[in-house]
Structure 1
Amino acid sequence: MATGACGISCDACRLQLLGMCSSCGSGRSEEAKNKTAAQLRLFGAACPVLVCAIEKRIAYCMRDCESFPCDKFRTGPYPFSEGFLSMQERRRREGSNRSPSGDLVKVSPRYWEDLARKDPKIICSDADVTLHPQSGILMPFLNEWFLVDAAGKSLYRECRGSWIRIEDQLIVLLSILYLLGANPRGLSNRPVSVKQLKCSHFFRGPHELNLNPLEMRFGEDLEGFKRAAEGLGGTPLPMADAAYMLKVFPKVPLYVLLWEQDEEFEARVSVLFDQSVEAHFAADAIWGLVNLVSRLMLTSVPLGSGTSH
């Protein structure tokens, strides 16, 4: 059963039944290139969705594209309803904002209160962050800067000279937990796997790290993996087929390694942690950290809500 670059099974699509669209294969296939060439020859124009997928070297828009659903799906006779596209947008915004129990992440006011009571100088020393000249705490996060306003119970990101409030609850929660939990211990600069952590028993069953989405998305797209990691400020490492160190928080780096799919082996993604990670984060926060980084590599969900500070 063929699947088009749009992500729909061609055999289950009414547009093919009506003769309005024919099977094109993935955006990375020869079939897709042949179809656009035929469309240009016969009609003088090619399907904009298929052309875009080919140019971006994306197999399936719905699975692989950071911009899905884009305007191309709203302006043509494509097989997705407005309701479906709106649902995709909403659920992508929610992303992986779920706790290990499956509930949506909510930041308890108690965490903000605990942070407000803690001595800012101790926080800065332990977490390797700095005080803002006016108020709050400045903290690097990947390739960005955050402003933590404990008194106002808000987290902001710097954007073109303004501070934009972050509504992503997983990012807010992990940022607070880092500032509350970081201690004077520095980085060991020794990467370890999840199985080498003292809390390794936590990452079993429903709490197993889910790296399959990264494997599906980048298993045949090494350059896409590199762009995603470098877009988050990653530092390349001479490991696997491609590997990057992502400085999520000042004392909490994450190492992401990719082995490409080939004729013998399936694609594989692995994550490593600095040996000191458990000094700063509990097991459930480590689990959330991996989910967050995975989501940020897969999609360009904006962190800010548009409210400036």
Structure 2
Amino acid sequence: MNAVDLYRNLPKKNCGSCRQKACMPFALSVIKGDALLSDCPLLTAAEVSGLQERITTADWREDLIHSLREKMTGSDLAQVQRDLGGRMRDDVLVMPCLGREFEISPEGEICSHDHITPWTKILLLHYINTHGTADLTGTWVSYSELKSGMVKASSFLRDCEDPLKELFDADPGKTAAALEKLGAEHSSEFPTPSAWKLELLPKVPAIVLYWPEEDEFPSKVKILFDKTADRFLDAESLMFLLEGLVKDVEMLR
């Protein structure tokens, strides 16, 4: 069953209750493994079970997860915790990411009380395997100033900054409240009253700046990183991390 076939079997109400907000993108997310059929409140348990039996999701991400777990084998999680943050619970590393906590075993198994997608597992395993070492500087730079960021800067604007700007434009109060639910703290260090600092990962803080429309100037969002961010994640992983932030903000509004 592909995404179109699945869509035909959904309620097609576009009720907005799932994080994709409409049935077609929800169907695509289910097929890609980024959402669960049970996320749809209009499907009965029997319908979820029946549809699930007919869905075959792509498994290349599971192969990648397996490869990343193998690469992690033998890692000293206590040393990882000292270098990358988080905390130890017995022999398990508890790593915060986007306002949630994920438990990572010495074998690289990742679990959480919340729904966890293959992409989140890949991101966390990349963060651990990269095992960057640098002290945060407090010097904030744009995505384009990070290693390989210039090449993907237009995509970062399109997929991260612009969608977040649209959420602020639609309802700045709810969007700010959603950021704060994810652990963001208001900052007065920047040339706009709408500024927040948040910890995406312990070694990957970010600044979110929003300027509302004023006279002839259009509204704008700018996301800044500590200049060491590319020591801990590559440009593509950082973009995925911020896409996840935008999705979480949209869901929490």
TM-score of the aligned structures, taking structure 2 as reference length: 0.71
Partner residue in 1 for 2:141:
192
1:156 matched to 2:91: no
Name structure 2 gaps, 5 residues minimum.
Answer: 1-13, 35-57
In structure 1, distance between residues paired with 2:33 and 2:205: 19
Match of 2:46 in 1: none
C-alpha RMSD over aligned residues: 3.1
Residue 62 (structure 2) pairs with residue 113 (structure 1) = no
Could you tell me whether the CA contact under 8 Å between 1:235 and 1:245 is conserved in 2? yes
Residue type matched to 2:233 in 1? F
Alignment-derived partner of residue 128 in structure 1: 85
Deviations 1:44-63 (A, max 9, x none): xxxxxxxxxxxxxxxxxx7x
Q: Cα offset for 1:219?
A: 1.5
* Aligned residue in 1 for 2:163: 213
| Pair 299,119 (structure 1): closer, same or farther in 2 beyond 3 Å | same
Do residues 172 (structure 1) and 128 (structure 2) align?
no
Paired residue for 1:243? Answer: 195
The count of aligned residue pairs is: 210
Match of 1:276 among 228, 233, 236: 228
Distance across 1 between alignment mates of 2:33 and 2:157:
14
**1:202 Cα deviation from its structure 2 partner:** 2.5
Query: 99, 102, 105: which one pairs with 1:143?
Result: 99
For 1:16-55, list aligned pairs within 5 A. none
Q: How much does 1:182 deviate? A: 2.8
Q: What is the SS of the residue equivalent to 1:117?
A: coil
Q: How far apart are the structure 2 equivalents of 1:278 and 1:86?
A: 36
Which of 149, 167, 172 aligns to 1:222? It is: 172
Contact kept, 8 Å, 1:209 with 1:290, in 2: the verdict is no
Unaligned runs of 5+ in 1: 1-61, 71-83, 98-102, 158-163, 302-309
Task: Work out the CA distance in 2 between the residues paired with 1:209 and 1:88.
Answer: 18
- In 1, the alpha carbon distance for the partners of 2:216 and 2:59 equals 39
Judged with a 3 Å threshold, the aligned counterparts in structure 2 of structure 1 residues 209 and 165 are, in CA distance, closer, same or farther, namely same
Identify the residue that residue 68 of structure 1 maps to in structure 2: 16
User: Comparing both structures, which one devotes a greater share of its residues to helix?
Assistant: 2
Classify 1:87/1:258 alpha carbon distance in 2 versus 1 (closer, same or farther; 3 Å): same
Which whole-Å CA distance do the structure 2 matches of 1:136 and 1:224 have between them? 35
Q: Who is 1:75 aligned against?
A: none
Deviations 1:37-83 (A, max 9, x none): xxxxxxxxxxxxxxxxxxxxxxxxx7xxxx8148xxxxxxxxxxxxx
Report the Cα offset of residue 86 of structure 1.
4.1
Amino acid aligned to 1:285: S
CA–CA separation in structure 1 for the residues paired with 2:169 and 2:140: 23
In the alignment, the residues of structure 1 paired with residue 194 and residue 156 of structure 2 have an alpha-carbon distance, to the nearest angstrom, of 26
1:96–1:292 Cα contact (<8 Å) kept: no
| 4+ runs deviating over 3 angstroms | 84-97, 204-209
Structure (1 or 2) with the larger CA radius of gyration: 1
CA shift, 1:91, in A, is 4.6
